[in-house]
Amino acid sequence: MALSQLLTADRIVTLIEPGASDTVLHAAARLLSGDSPITTTLIADSLQSRERMGSTAIGHGIAIPHGRSAAFDEARGAFLRLSHPVDFGASDGEPVDLVFALAVPEHFTQQHLQLLAELAERFADEDYRAALREAADVNALHQLLTSERAPRSATA
């Protein structure tokens, strides 16, 4: 599944006061749910439950919280750029400032793993991470996140 199908511009934000990781997860759940209170609670519980099993921080200031939900028939993504890094318990010890959250349907087993692998590969690129951190606004972030390839590494 292409990230352009997963992520819409209305699910990309910069959090000015991110608080703690639980606050970030709840903000991600709100974005993923479209502000539906019941769905937000279901998704937040799913994200927090997965986070308790082990940190979804993958290093270099990136976290990919993800959870399964019966609320949707298709996977959904949300991207949060944090104005202040937050501790997600990353194995490299770095706090997180870039969060790509996923809510996937219960039956999305293989697709879920493929999405996580694609995201991890994108975020492994140092130039791509830098471009996301330097992006001027939501439109620039959306373009970077939904492009077929990371912009700077393609020319390196």
Residues 50/56, Cβ–Cβ less than 8 Å: yes
Which of 26, 66, 112, 142 is flagged as catalytic?
Answer: 66
Nearest 5 degrees, angle CA 137-CA 143-CA 146?
135
Kindly calculate the radius of gyration of the chain based on its CA atoms and give it in whole angstroms.
14
Is 84 part of the annotated catalytic residue set? no
Q: Please name which of 16, 121, 109, 123 lies closest in space to residue 63, comparing C-alpha atoms.
A: 123
Active site (catalytic) residues: 66
